[in-house]
Amino acid sequence: MTTRLFLASQSPRRRELLRQIGVDYEVVDVDVPERREPGEPPEDYVSRVAREKAGAGLLQLAAVPGAVVMGADTEVVLDDEVFGKPADAADAAAMLRRLSGRRHRVVSTVWLVGAGREEHATSLSTVEFMVLDDAAIAAYVASGEPFGRAGAYAIQGRAGAFVRHLEGSYSGVMGLPLYETGELLRRFGRERGAS
């Protein structure tokens, strides 16, 4: 049976990254609440949300033979606190002030879920920001780039200039770790470009 890959995400960055490695896919729209449970470790939270996205997508595609759904989640973690997407400009500025001059972790997990089979992989990266003054933070927030992004920054955009050091996966910090994603697809028998 031919598999059909579906991406359970509206993220333009994830779509762009999959296209970058030549993966054919379709999109399935899911609405999964992203709320961390009390005491839930950050890695478990990110994995759970990614799995719930993939599972919700597969439920919608029950009648599609060979459907495999990819769900992913990426979060910024500082001192065990998960920084999601900023609610507004003040929230974005507060996040950036806390990240300024510090090292934080980025957890990015990908799940592939099909009928009777599921696998996942996690990428852990460490990002160190330069010290950001209030003017730099205000200018960055005013650019609009922090909105809709975990931790209020986009490493592939203007915030790339804030990154003093990165250990791990650049694409994982963007939202989809390509090495881990490629490995999952190969294990599922979907070589790049297969349909």
Question: Which parts of the chain are beta strand (E)?
Answer: 4-7, 26-27, 67-78, 81-83, 103-114, 117-129, 163-167
Query: Distance between CA atoms of 23 and 25, rounded to whole angstroms?
Result: 6
Handedness of CA 153, 155, 157, 160 (dihedral sign): positive
Which residue among the candidates 31, 73, 91, 133 is catalytic per the annotation?
Answer: 73
Query: Distance between CA atoms of 99 and 175, rounded to whole angstroms?
Result: 18
Handedness of CA 116, 184, 170, 21 (dihedral sign): negative
Query: Distance between CA atoms of 93 and 159, rounded to whole angstroms?
Result: 13
Query: Distance between CA atoms of 113 and 47, rounded to whole angstroms?
Result: 13
Active site residue 80: no
Catalytic residue list: 73
